[in-house]
């Protein structure tokens, strides 16, 4: 794995050339009073370093003669470590993480300028840590003021995403191995959940079992708060209360995935709580499944990113017209987005270190990013007919028998050189 990080750093540094890139570790987040959430490293920081501690800064200065990769970290401190846990420390940051130089974080202001003075620009993501951004801007301001005397220095800050996130979009074998592990654990949890779901059980029982299976298998936990939504709740996209008692005749929508070594799975399945679908549930399920199959068929290298979303929208809209739930000509309904009360989200997103992973969907006003081998996307069409669904004025009232049905089917799909691989195929649909 260290070799993978080294390769990434090398590729990244080739891209930034004469610039210096700076990454701040994720801030620690307070849960309440002085109790903190579990630390979760910033994904960009982790992608390039594998370093998993707070209060750290990584600097990449490919133009520097000796120190191309520098880490500022919390120093060893037996007392603090007794309270807050193990620290790698300055020496091991070099030995174990391959830094050319490492310093205690308290010496940042002293050492940072020498890695910036010769750079033509600074690569940085304006983001979560405003204090750190202010520190960096102060350094930049000083360097600009002294540029005239030196004749060198950064004249611009460029968002680091334009170089780094292009790399993160294409997964290496090592990354895919971790994603497959996160997925394997999630598959087991979904398969157990389906067996458990019975009338009378509570949504949280299923959630607890799945979270238990994640952790028991070495995952860090759920990749996002698990959605276990029965009956009408399935029409709430981010439902996480998970406290309803399930009834015979309900559908159960489960959107849950594990995070393993920071790589994420994202899987949704929808199925009857009791023995069988009602007729309306069955019809709508078949429609969502057909939309998903049409969408997955579009996950091919070279296809524009949007092709699979367009395919899903077309199948769903055609189906809604066939069922009389929408009235009009399909192309026009799509153009005017009349399907949106039933299907209000997009059909997928990049997946990786972040659940909604870094990367570009568009590369120009009219141009969608072409898919390429190594991309991982979710494909997750759905239909949501909430009890109070409101269509456009020129559309019919939705009959009561269709209301209270929410369905989503979500798989994680790898783009390969010749087509695609559905990584989550082991959960039945």
Q: Which residues are catalytic?
A: 34, 238, 255, 266, 345, 349, 356, 380, 384, 408, 410
DSSP-assigned beta bridge partners for residue 202: 245
Tell me how far, at minimum, the Cβ of 203 lies from ligand GLY, in Å: 16
Q: Which helix (H) or strand (E) holds 209?
A: helix 203-216
The answer to whether residue 255 forms part of the interface with Mn ion (CB under 5 A) is: yes
Tell me how far, at minimum, the Cβ of 379 lies from Mn ion, in Å: 9
Tell me how far, at minimum, the Cβ of 378 lies from Mn ion, in Å: 4
Sign of the C-alpha dihedral computed for residues 332, 333, 334 and 336 taken in this order: positive
| Inter-residue contact 182 to 171 (CB < 8 Å) | no
Cα–Cα distances in angstroms (integers) from residue 217 to residues 32, 258, 267, 289, 308, in the given order? 29, 10, 17, 30, 33
Closest-approach residue to ligand GLY (CB): 255
Helix, strand, or coil (residue 399): coil
Tokens linked to 232: 């009408």
DSSP code of residue 236: S
Q: Which is nearer to ligand GLY, 224 or 368 (CB)?
A: 224
Residues 260-319 that bind Mn ion (CB under 5 A): 266
Tell me how far, at minimum, the Cβ of 380 lies from ligand GLY, in Å: 6
For ligand GLY, which residue of 266, 318, 357, 411 counts as binding (CB under 6 A)?
A: 266
| C-alpha to C-alpha distance for 358 and 371, rounded to whole angstroms | 14
DSSP-assigned beta bridge partners for residue 157: 122
| Inter-residue contact 338 to 395 (CB < 8 Å) | yes
| Inter-residue contact 250 to 273 (CB < 8 Å) | yes
Tell me how far, at minimum, the Cβ of 258 lies from ligand GLY, in Å: 12
Question: What backbone phi and psi angles, to 5 degrees, belong to 10?
Answer: -65, -50
The answer to whether residue 211 forms part of the interface with ligand GLY (CB under 6 A) is: no
DSSP-assigned beta bridge partners for residue 158: 123
Q: Which is nearer to ligand GLY, 51 or 271 (CB)?
A: 271
Q: Which is nearer to ligand GLY, 87 or 349 (CB)?
A: 349
Tell me how far, at minimum, the Cβ of 255 lies from ligand GLY, in Å: 5
The answer to whether residue 378 forms part of the interface with Mn ion (CB under 5 A) is: yes
| Inter-residue contact 378 to 412 (CB < 8 Å) | yes
Site size for ligand GLY (CB under 6 A)? 7
Site string (102-131) toward Mn ion, x via CB under 5 A = ------------------------------
Residues 328-367 that bind ligand GLY (CB under 6 A): 349, 355
The answer to whether residue 101 forms part of the interface with ligand GLY (CB under 6 A) is: no
For ligand GLY, which residue of 39, 147, 204, 224 counts as binding (CB under 6 A)?
A: 224
| C-alpha to C-alpha distance for 78 and 80, rounded to whole angstroms | 6
Q: Which is nearer to ligand GLY, 60 or 285 (CB)?
A: 285
Q: Which is nearer to ligand GLY, 136 or 265 (CB)?
A: 265
Tell me how far, at minimum, the Cβ of 19 lies from ligand GLY, in Å: 33
Question: What backbone phi and psi angles, to 5 degrees, belong to 218?
Answer: 90, 0
The answer to whether residue 205 forms part of the interface with ligand GLY (CB under 6 A) is: no
Tokens linked to 428: 């039945």
Q: Which is nearer to ligand GLY, 53 or 380 (CB)?
A: 380
Cα–Cα distances in angstroms (integers) from residue 121 to residues 22, 138, 269, in the given order? 11, 15, 47
Helix, strand, or coil (residue 416): coil
For ligand GLY, which residue of 175, 203, 232, 255 counts as binding (CB under 6 A)?
A: 255
Residue 152, Cβ density class (10 Å: 0-12 exposed, 13-18 middle, ≥19 buried):
middle
Q: Which is nearer to Mn ion, 111 or 345 (CB)?
A: 345
Q: Which residues here bind ligand GLY, judged by CB under 6 A?
A: 224, 255, 266, 349, 355, 380, 410
Q: Which residues here bind Mn ion, judged by CB under 5 A?
A: 255, 266, 378, 410
């Amino acid at each position: 794995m260290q070799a993978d990080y080294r390769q990434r750093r090398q590729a990244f540094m080739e891209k930034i050339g004469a610039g210096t890139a700076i990454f701040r570790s994720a801030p620690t987040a307070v849960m309440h009073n002085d109790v903190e959430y579990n630390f979760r490293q910033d994904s960009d920081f982790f992608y390039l370093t594998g370093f998993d501690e707070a209060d750290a800064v990584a600097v990449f200065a490919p133009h520097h003669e000796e120190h191309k990769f520098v880490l500022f970290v919390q120093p060893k401190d037996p007392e603090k470590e007794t309270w807050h846990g193990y620290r790698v420390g300055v020496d091991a940051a070099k030995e174990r993480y391959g830094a050319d130089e490492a310093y205690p974080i308290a010496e940042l202001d002293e050492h940072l300028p020498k890695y910036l003075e010769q750079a033509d620009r600074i690569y940085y993501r304006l983001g979560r840590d405003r204090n750190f951004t202010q520190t960096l801007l102060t350094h930049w301001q000083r360097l600009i003021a002294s540029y005239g005397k030196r004749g060198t220095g950064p004249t611009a800050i460029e968002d680091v995403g334009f170089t780094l996130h292009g790399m993160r979009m294409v997964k290496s074998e090592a990354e895919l191995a971790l994603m497959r592990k996160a997925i394997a654990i999630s598959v087991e949890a979904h398969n157990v959940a389906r067996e458990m779901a019975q009338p009378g059980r509570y949504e949280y029982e299923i959630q607890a079992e799945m979270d238990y299976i994640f952790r028991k298998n070495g995952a860090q936990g759920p990749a996002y708060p698990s959605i276990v939504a029965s009956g009408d709740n399935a029409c709430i996209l981010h439902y996480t209360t998970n406290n309803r008692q399930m009834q015979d005749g309900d559908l159960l929508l489960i959107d849950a995935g594990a995070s393993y070594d920071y790589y994420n799975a994202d899987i949704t399945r929808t199925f009857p709580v009791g023995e069988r679908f009602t007729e309306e549930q069955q019809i709508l399920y078949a429609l969502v499944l057909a939309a998903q199959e049409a969408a997955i068929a579009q996950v091919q290298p070279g296809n524009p990113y949007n092709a699979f979303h367009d395919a899903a929208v077309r199948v769903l809209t055609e189906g809604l017209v066939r069922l009389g739930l929408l009235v009009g000509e399909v192309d026009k309904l799509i153009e005017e987005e009349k399907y949106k009360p039933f299907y209000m989200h997009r059909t997928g997103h990049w997946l990786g270190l972040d659940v909604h992973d870094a990367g570009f969907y568009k590369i120009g006003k009219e141009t969608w990013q072409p898919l390429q081998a190594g991309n991982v996307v979710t494909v997750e069409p759905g239909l949501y007919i909430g009890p109070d669904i409101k269509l456009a004025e020129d559309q019919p009232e939705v009959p009561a028998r269709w209301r209270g049905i929410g369905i989503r089917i979500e798989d994680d799909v790898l783009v390969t050189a010749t087509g695609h691989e559905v990584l989550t195929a082991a959960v039945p649909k």
